[in-house]
Structure formats: C-alpha cells, structure tokens
Amino acid sequence: MNLSVYIKACILSLPVICLNSCAKIGSPTGGPRDRQPPVVLATIPEANSVNFKDDRIVITFNEYVALDNINDNLIVSPPLATRPKVWLKGKSVIVDIEEDLREDFTYTFNFQNAIKDLNEGNILEGYRFVVATGPTLDSLSVTGNVYYAENLETPEKIFILAHGNLADTAAVKTLPDYIGVIDRFGYFRIDNMKRGSYNLYALKDVDNNKRYNLPDEEFAFLDHRVEVTADSSWIPPAVADTAATEEPASVTVATEQDVQGQDGDTVALDGKYKLFMFKKAVTAQYLKSSQRKSKSQLEFILSLPPNDMDFEFSLPDTPAENMFIAEHSAGRDTLLVWLTDSTLMENNPLAANIRYPFTDSTGMVDYKTDTVNLRYVEARTPRNAVAEKPVPLAIATSFAAGGVRPGEKLVLRSETPLAPPDTSLIKLFSINEKDTLKAPFSLLRDSLTATRYILETNVLPDRRYLFIADSGAFRDIYDKYSDSTGIVFSQKPETSYGKLSFNVQNAEGPVILQLLGKDETKVIMERRMEGQGKAEFPLLDPGTYRARIIFDADSNGVWTTGNFEKKLQPEQVSYYPDEIEVKARFDIEQDWDASVRNEKNRKLRTVKK
C-alpha cells in the first residue's frame, strides 16, 4: 500500500477508533457519598503542647473545611477578654489570639460543632485543641447538670462559669477562670482545670460578656465552694497532672442513664454538681409597657401589681365623663381602656396620662405621672375592595361545647364591654323525654369586667338545656349587636369523670401540690398542705396528667424564684415519677414520698435535638 494512502487511512479511522474506545468505558459512578468528618493532619503547635508563648494556632485538615457560626461556637477556657480572630487558609483553620495569655494556665479551644467539610457538610463534632502556657498540662475537671428550677427542664445555650476568685462580686464584675457549656441534656464538664477552690455558676449570657450583670439574665449558683482535687482528674493516672502528686489521681466516670431522647439517643450523663436556673424577680415598680391595640383600645402594664396604690388613666385637658371605660386585671397590674368618644378615637397619636407607683434610684416608691403619645396603624384597604358587610357582635360561651362540669360557671363573653343584655330576647328551656319547660335564669355582670356576664340557673344532671338569644339580645358599648344563636348543653354526670388522690409522705413544712396537663403548660388544680397528708383532685376529665410538688419555704402559696444577692436559692420542686392516666368512674390513689427533692423522671423531660 502506498505510504501516503496508508497514513490517510489511519487518520480517517481515528474518530471511529476513539468512538469505539469510548463506548467500551462505563460512565463514572462517583463512588459512595463522603460521610466522614474532616481529619486533623497537623497542628502548630502540637496538641497538648506546653510552654506555649505564640499568638497563633494553625490546625490543618485532610480536606477543605468551612466554619459554622464560629463566633458563637468557639468557647475558649479560660475565657479571653478579646474574641480571637478565626479564619481559613487553604485546608487550615487559623486562630489569631489578640491578647496575652495567662501565665501557667492550660487553655482549651472548644470548637463544638463549628468545623465541617466544605463539600458535604460533615461535622467534626466536639473538636477541642488544648495547649498550656506553663510547663505542665492541668488535668482536673468539674462535672454537673443544669436544670430550670421551676420545672426541672433542660435549658439551652447555658455557660458554666468557674471562679477562683471567691468574692461574691466576682460573678458580676470579672471573667471566670474557666468556662464550659452544657449539652442538650443539660450535662457539662469543664476540663484542664487547676487544683483549687472555685465558685460555680450557670449563666444565660444575654450580652455575651460572661458576667451576671443584667437583672433579666437566667442564672444559677451553688451554695458551697467546689474543691477541685486529684480525685477530679479525667486523664488516666499514668499521665495525670504532675502538680497534684500528693494524692493519687483517679478517673471520674459519669454514670450513664437509660434515657430516651426525641431523636432516639439513649445516653445522658449525671455530673457531680446540680445547678438550678432562675430569673431574679422584678422588685422595682415601673410602667412596663403601653400600647394602642386598636383605634379604640389602649393597654398599660406595670412591672408589678400596685397593691393598695393607684394605677389610673386620664386624658389631658379633657373631661373624663362618658369618654372612656377603664378596667383593671385581677392582679391590678394591667389597665385596659376602651375609648367611647368618636372624636378621641380619631386622634392619632392620642395623648394619655398614666399615674402609677414608681421606684426611684434610692429604692423609694412614690407616684409618677407620665404623658404618653399612643399611635395605631390602620390596616390598608386594597384598591377595588368590595365593601364588607358589618360583622355582628361575637358572643363566646363557656358552655358551647355541650357538656358542663358540675358547679361550673356558665360564662358569656365579648371582646368589648357589653351593655346590659336585653333579657326579653333571651330564653332558657329545660328539656327531658317527658317535657320542655321554661327555666328561670338571671344574667349577672362579672365583678372584674364588663366583657363577661354569668348565666345563673339551676342545672340538673338529668335534663338538657336550650339557650336561645334572639338577634340584638347583646350589645356592646359601640352599638354593635349580636346575631341570633341557640346552644344546647347539659351537665355531665359525675360518672364521666375520674378522681386522683395523693398520700403525701415525709413532707416537712408547707407544700403546694399541682396537677398538670400532660404537656405541663397548664395547672389543672392545686392543693396547699401544711406537711404530709392526703390531697384529692376530683372531677377530672379522662386523660394523662403529671403532678408537681413545690416546697413552699416562704409560705406565700406560690413558687418563689432565687436571689443571688441575698444568697436565696429558688424554691425546690419535685415531680411525681410517672405520668398518671385517669379514667372515667375510677378513683386512683397514689403514695408520694416528698422527701425526694429536685427530681423528675428523665423520660418525662423535654430533650432538645
């Protein structure tokens, strides 16, 4: 074959060869998805180094990483006055320390869950870098648990502060010597501590300064000092802190509890010390809020009930007669005002005077009068909107669901104050299988508010009742009338309910027993007792309940919060160990040992994911 012809043939055949070759190679599958977190390859200095004097830490990984909310997630213990600068360079995380570190201290840089790989977001959970500025690594630790004092639930985002400065003001004025954070079960462990005596605190740090300096911050404190000794070591004896050789080092192992969390986890840890969070009670009198809820309604709220002092509303340079209605809440700390004068309603803003008790800088309480200007924002009407028909006055009733509890009040209520009802347009019939009779009734205004009326009648368990209100039977102060309505109701027999009793044992001093719904958001009933005895909760709807004891140390009939300045812990509580199912017709009786305090079955706690 002529050489040139051969070469041309080869060139022409190349695309076919390439296509055939490509056809024989399978498409890439990409392999299994990467589920491994980043791996630390090297650090400068080495982890657990001593005599560290530099101002930079470099942590290099096997892949590119990202930082998630590093300013909140990075916890440095002992804490730094200036937040370190954390940035990325290639596959390295660089920490620039912006201040001099303390001499002869072991520093822990706890990244928590801030480091993850760049591509898949796999988190390097709980990564910690430890380095010492002195010749040895401190190896001691403190463990514990944090709960809310009132309900023993687990708080979130709580710092643990350990102060070697034992002055009472240290928690308020200075940074702690060591700092930790709780996990989602409320457990904490502060590691790499020096031997010594410490005060231990827990803090919901609102202003992020690691100090308890705001009255609305949640806080907890121990009544006694914590002694950190070689018995608190978390490092095996072979490498235990050489500074603590006077007594043998040992490993403190937390106890695992079988706990079923919401996400299926089954392990929570019990630490040595228990801290109970509280928020300091408000002690100063002041006007907490004022707002114009609508064109015609104003609301004013005090920080505390005024007790026997006045809490009054007035209009500047305006006669008050027939221009508004003002009502106090049951505790008198809230004042609702309904304007009745149409001219006043159109004033925007509206000037109003409020006279109320006020605590001055010396702690003395006297009257103060403020003039406040209140605005309302009127909802915009869309263009080409069709005019809506007037909505009749809505009257809600407590007996609309059908069955009423024996002795229950029959309440009718409106969102606005009511004029006296027109009883000529209202009828009540008593019905059974044999007859239908007119039932006598009366409507009495609630003593606290004109928005509620009480229907008084003798409800018998063997009859049904038909309540009929014709159109216009109810009218509010703005001349808005109710529509016609008819409601059938009856009294449930006692056999529809269950009864629960507790035999309270080993209770010393006054206690409050509270029966709660399953979700604990509502107190169903409560009983006060002066020590041990029997507490009964009758006429309970079938369902699941929980129960709580409050150890009422100050005998004021309510749970009392703590006060750090006065060294008063919040009142202790305990929960009955299990949920209780109440069934109709059943009388349940349970023994309850009240000597156990601050206890709640972990399976009944709410655990955050």
Q: Is the peptide bond before 215 cis (omega within 30 degrees of 0)?
A: no
pLDDT at residue 207 tops 60: yes
Query: How many other C-beta atoms can be found within 10 angstroms of the C-beta atom of residue 90?
Result: 9
463-501: pLDDT as tens digits? 999 999 999 999 999 999 999 999 999 999 889 999 999
Architecture in CATH for domain 287-374:
Sandwich (2.60)
- Beta bridge partners, 95, equal 57, 86
CA distance 289 to 287: 6
CATH code of the domain occupying 40-132:
2.60.40.1220
DSSP 542-596: SEEEEEEEEE-TT-SSS----BTTTTBPPPPEEE-SS-EEE-TT-EEEEEEETT-
Provide CB contacts within 8 A for 501, sequence distance 6+.
Answer: 534, 535, 536, 537, 587, 588, 589, 590
Would you call 520 helix, strand, or coil by DSSP?
Answer: coil
* H, E, C per residue of 31-87: CCCCCCCCCEEEEECCCCECCCCCCEEEEEECCCEEECCHHHHCEEECCCCCCCEEE
Q: Given pLDDT bands bounded at 50, 70 and 90, which one contains residue 24?
A: very low
Q: Given pLDDT bands bounded at 50, 70 and 90, which one contains residue 33?
A: confident
Q: Given pLDDT bands bounded at 50, 70 and 90, which one contains residue 249?
A: very low
- Beta bridge partners, 476, equal 418
| For the chain, counts of helices (H) and of strands (E) | 4, 43
| Residue in 542, 560, 541, 540 with CA at minimum distance from that of residue 550 | 560
CATH code of the domain occupying 140-279:
2.60.40
Q: What pLDDT was estimated at residue 319?
A: 73
Work out the mean pLDDT of the chain and round it to a whole number.
Answer: 88
- Domain ranges for the chain, please list them: 40-132, 140-279, 287-374, 396-492, 496-604
CB 510 within 8 Å of CB 526: no
- Beta bridge partners, 89, equal 92
Q: What pLDDT was estimated at residue 252?
A: 33
CA distance 361 to 410: 48
137-173: pLDDT as tens digits? 999 999 999 999 999 999 999 999 999 999 989 999 9
**Among positive and negative, which fits the CA dihedral 173, 179, 185, 187?**
negative
Q: Measure CA 297 to chain center.
A: 30
Strands 273-279 vs 140-148: parallel, antiparallel or unpaired: parallel
pLDDT at residue 4 tops 60: no
Please compute the mean of the pLDDT values over residues 44-57 and round it to a whole number. 96
Q: What pLDDT was estimated at residue 375?
A: 93
Q: Given pLDDT bands bounded at 50, 70 and 90, which one contains residue 267?
A: low
pTM over 0.95: no
396-492: CATH, from 3.40.1160.10, 2.60.40.1220, 1.10.3720.10, 1.10.490.10: 2.60.40.1220
pLDDT at residue 594 tops 90: yes
Q: Is the peptide bond before 305 cis (omega within 30 degrees of 0)?
A: no
CATH code of the domain occupying 496-604:
2.60.40.10
Strands (E), 311-405: 312-314, 324-328, 334-339, 350-359, 365-374, 396-397, 403-404
pLDDT at residue 19 tops 60: no
pLDDT at residue 262 tops 70: no
On the question of a common fold for 287-374 and 496-604, the answer reads yes
